[in-house]
Amino acid sequence: MPSPLPPLFEELPQVLVEKIDLETPWALLGEALDEILAALPADAIDISLTPDAHVLGDRIAIGAGTRIQPGAVIEGPIWIGRDVQIRTGAYLRAGNWVGDGCVIGTHTEVKRSILLPGAKAPHLNYVGDSILGRGVNLGAGTILSNFRHDGQEVLIPDGSARLSTGRRKLGAVLGDGVLTGCNTVLNPGVVVGRGTQIYPGVLLRSGLYPADSIIKLRQQIEIIERQT
């Protein structure tokens, strides 16, 4: 039976290929990610750190060419590739994998997520328990929400059925090249196929969204004369 998931990733780093099941990619955020991070050396930082970049804990790998601006906070265990930009006020909590050439922007928080090479969360974003494909770009204020208010398992609607994820915390799985507009909010359990664009202000409910699509928000604006 073919997978109900839309096409997501054309190429994955080898360390992830060995762990991922493409029919349940969100499982990569569990024990598989723990195993990848547990295998890191205690200290593999290939850049010079300034005192105003706050790097805490151990099992921290940072590749050559990465730039960390003043005021950023990075907690281990974490793997950060080469030529990554981590800007002022960014908060990378323990348990992340950040690929080469990614951007973590000003006042962006990333929690237990995987960013494939070239993914960008550049402006006031929250990325919780999510996977961002290559070249993903989150518009300013995009939120990838990861927790249901009732604390129950995140289920992904698929027509009349629901896919079990086995996870109480799961944000979004965004395929390669997905773009979100400013102030987009994705509810827990959103899977978006590669190449899809999401317009500004969209509130996207849990579910599977096709590749190579445009997701629009239509709204009606009413302008009335002021009473003086």
Give me the active site residues, please.
123
What are the backbone dihedrals phi and psi of residue 25, each rounded to the nearest 5 degrees, phi first? -60, -25
73/71 Cα distance (integer angstroms)? 6
What are the backbone dihedrals phi and psi of residue 17, each rounded to the nearest 5 degrees, phi first? -55, -40
Strands 161-164 and 126-128, bridge-based pairing: unpaired
- Of 161, 166, 158, 174, which Cα lies nearest the Cα of 206? 158
CA atoms within 13 A on the CB side of 27: 12
CB-count burial class (<10 Å; 0-12, 13-18, 19+) for 211: middle
83/226 Cα distance (integer angstroms)? 53
SS3 category, 38: helix
| Residue 21 and residue 3 in contact, taking contact as beta carbons nearer than 8 Å | no
